Amino acid sequence: MKIGVRVPCYRRWCDRAAVRDIAETAEGLGYDSLWVQDHLVAPVGTTDETVALGVDDWMAPRRDPGPTTVAQYYAGDDWWLDPFATWGFLAAVTNRVSLASDIVVLPYRNPVVQAKLIGTLDVLSGGRMIVGTGSGHVRAESEALGIDFDARGRMHDEYIRAIKTLLSAGEASFDGEFCRFGPLRTLIRPCQVPHPPFYIGGNGRRSIRRAAELGEGWLPAVNDAEGLRRGIDRLRRECERIGRATPPLVALSLPSAVRFPIAGSRSGTRPTTTPDEATDLLRRFADAGVDHVSLAFPMPTADIYLQQITTCGRHVLPAFR
């Protein structure tokens, strides 16, 4: 199983020096990938006006904590680096690790522009891009961009098809509900043929169907290995339904399950984790069928985050090599 680490785009301390330190430390320790995330603006208003939809928890039901506001979800730092710009910086300061996302919100940006960005990044990184995609879960953010929030799922499907079309040929045409172009010359060809892999984010049944139909990978966020098995079983059934012989890879976004007891690292109500416990947890996910995992650790400061990355790299990663 491949193991990667998040670059916490949403922390105010996450500046040029911190991103470089995270990237160089992770690559030096043998991590397989670096993962970025995506939001553009944080709407202001009442809870109803700024609600952020939670993940679908049908695989592993949890107690409903009630509505989450954008301010709570975005970590309250009033900070979010753009994922495409961060990818470009990461491509320049690393040589080996894959550059991935968990996730970029595909409906937020014109698909022709995104195709050019993704293709260019794949060229400049030497073919290291993995594009994890989502539909978006903040209505007010979509509205700020003039996007029909209720149509975001259909847009997600169509934009994947349009971007793949643009990246797969020297000339391309497309005629969809939200996007029409061509014939035109694309002026970019990625290193990966026919295009970088697209990992479909989301826990819901529609996301699983989208992954079977359009994805090279499925990218859920589930803390329970047995629950994830139910999702993987459904993914395989969806592939059988459409006649897909080889199911997508499974990449797991696991941002809060591993928390080493490092001084100054607040644990809140979650228990801390020993390296042996982290190894056992990740082995359970590997046994369930996970091919790649994105980890994030407690991150009150850049120094503590780097200590967490280093502890995992020295005491957990060797078990998966």
Tens-binned pLDDT, residue by residue, of the chain (321 aa):
999 999 999 999 999 999 999 999 999 999 999 999 999 998 888 888 888 888 888 897 766 556 688 877 776 788 999 999 999 999 999 999 999 999 999 999 999 999 999 999 999 999 999 999 999 999 999 999 999 999 999 999 999 999 999 999 999 999 999 999 989 999 999 999 999 999 999 999 999 999 999 999 999 999 999 999 999 999 999 999 999 999 999 999 999 899 999 887 765 677 899 999 999 999 999 999 999 999 999 999 999 999 999 999 999 999 998
User: Which two tokens mark 238?
Assistant: 């969806």
Beta bridge partners of 33: 4, 98
Kindly report the CATH class assigned to 2-320. Answer: alpha beta
Nearest to 311 by CA among 283, 276, 284: 276
- Report d(CA 88, CA 73) in Å as an integer: 26
Q: Judge whether 130 and 195 are in contact, CB under 8 Å.
A: no
- 143 and 149 Cβ atoms separated by less than 8 Å: yes
Return the C-alpha torsion angle 134, 137, 139, 144, nearest 10.
-50
Burial class (CB in 10 A: 0-12, 13-18, 19+), 238: buried
Q: How do the domains of the chain map onto residue ranges?
A: 2-320
